[in-house]
Amino acid sequence: MTDSSTPDDFQRADRWPNLPLEAWQDTYAKLHMWTQMVGKIRLLQTPQLNHWWNVPLYLTARGLTTSAMPYHGRSFEMEFDFIDHRLVIRCDDATTRSIALSPRSVADDYRELMRTLAGIGITVDIWPVPVEVPDPIPFEEDDKNAAYDAEYANRFWHVLLRIGQVLESFRARFIGKCSPVHFFWGSFDLAVTRFSGRPAPPREGADRITREAYSHEVISHGFWPGIRTPGPVERATAAGSIHYPAFYAYTAPEPAGFQEAPIQPGQAFYSQAMKEFILPYDAVRNADSPGEVLMEFLQSTYAAGANLAGWNRAALERMPGDKAG
């Protein structure tokens, strides 16, 4: 690499897998529940961090991990392995257990997860109801979500890896307060968030979670696979939902003029329904240099938000090519 741009290997279009939502949305639904079960354990076992940074999962060379969590003088971690398709539980005393990621109900998965943890002396009491989904079904009662297509689970992880590399390079350009590149299991998105350092005005009617998440001015970027739709695609489009994998960018609070700001590339647009700039994943995947196109979107949406909101960019940024220290 000559600067903090995308590594050359990740510029190749053939390294960015196709991920049509309609081909794997049932597996997506199942994985969403799996990550929520594991994520709720992470939430329970870790001290609360600002903006809920103790909640997300993190990318690994095989999948997604909780990272190490404390438990009564011990440490354990849980990793989704999307190569061998197992949830692997590792403890600091060398104890290891694993559970197959396979086509069976969420209820069966949940029962086996709790039995497996109890079998190695770990008892956790999570709230067993999913969040940020319509009509949530408690894990122990969910016989509806049972699909698992290993090929698409692996594809999804590979997509996150490609995107994660670009987000890490983008993050390296910022020396102000910035989140890790992390995966939120509630909204099922990979995200990175920059902060101006200034408090934000309180959001009217905000709940405890939203108040903490948006207590300070932010510009956030990320990727999510799209909103699953039980009916025709046309219905989702009419409702303003994004029914395909896409990148997003928003500034909160949103400054005047943000919606009309010139954004790159040309396929990006502002969604009034979502209150975010949207760039379809396929516009990046099909480009000659996907990483460069994604970086254009990240940088142009950040610049628009930061300029219009009056961020002190000179004090917050490191330009490509600058060396730390």
Q: Which of 15-24, 53-62, 227-236 has the lowest mean pLDDT?
A: 227-236
**Long-range pairs for 55-59 at CB < 8 Å and ≥24 separation?**
55/184, 55/185, 55/186, 56/180, 56/182, 56/183, 56/184, 56/185, 56/191, 57/182, 57/183, 57/185, 58/180, 58/182, 58/183, 59/160, 59/161, 59/164, 59/181, 59/183, 59/190
User: Cα(62)–Cα(85) distance, rounded to whole angstroms?
Assistant: 9
Is the pLDDT confidence value at 4 over 50?
Answer: no
**Which backbone phi and psi does 301 adopt, to 5 degrees?**
-70, -35
Question: For 249-266, what is each residue's pLDDT tens digit?
Answer: 999 999 999 999 999 999
User: In whole numbers, what is the pLDDT of the chain averaged over residues?
Assistant: 90
Greater model confidence, 48 or 321: 48
What pLDDT is recorded for position 325?
A: 45
3-state DSSP assignment of residue 170: helix
Is the pLDDT confidence value at 32 over 70?
Answer: yes
User: Cα(1)–Cα(82) distance, rounded to whole angstroms?
Assistant: 28
Is the pLDDT confidence value at 322 over 50?
Answer: yes
Most confident of 14-23, 29-38, 46-55: 29-38
Q: Exposed e or buried b for every residue in 127-141, given b needs 16+ CB within 10 A?
A: eeebeebeeebebee
- Amino acid letter for position 300: S
**Which backbone phi and psi does 4 adopt, to 5 degrees?**
-90, 25
Strands 63-65 and 58-59: antiparallel
Question: For 74-129, what is each residue's pLDDT tens digit?
Answer: 999 999 999 999 999 999 999 999 999 999 999 999 999 999 999 999 999 999 99
User: Cα(80)–Cα(98) distance, rounded to whole angstroms?
Assistant: 10
Cβ-in-10-Å burial (0-12, 13-18, 19+) of 294 comes to buried
Mean pLDDT, residues 205-220 taken together: 79
User: Cα(232)–Cα(239) distance, rounded to whole angstroms?
Assistant: 12
pTM of the model: 0.90
User: Quick one: the chain helix, strand, coil %, rounded to 5?
Assistant: 35, 20, 45
**Degrees, nearest 5: CA angle 43-214-304:** 125
Question: For 218-242, what is each residue's pLDDT tens digit?
Answer: 999 999 999 875 543 333 343 457 8
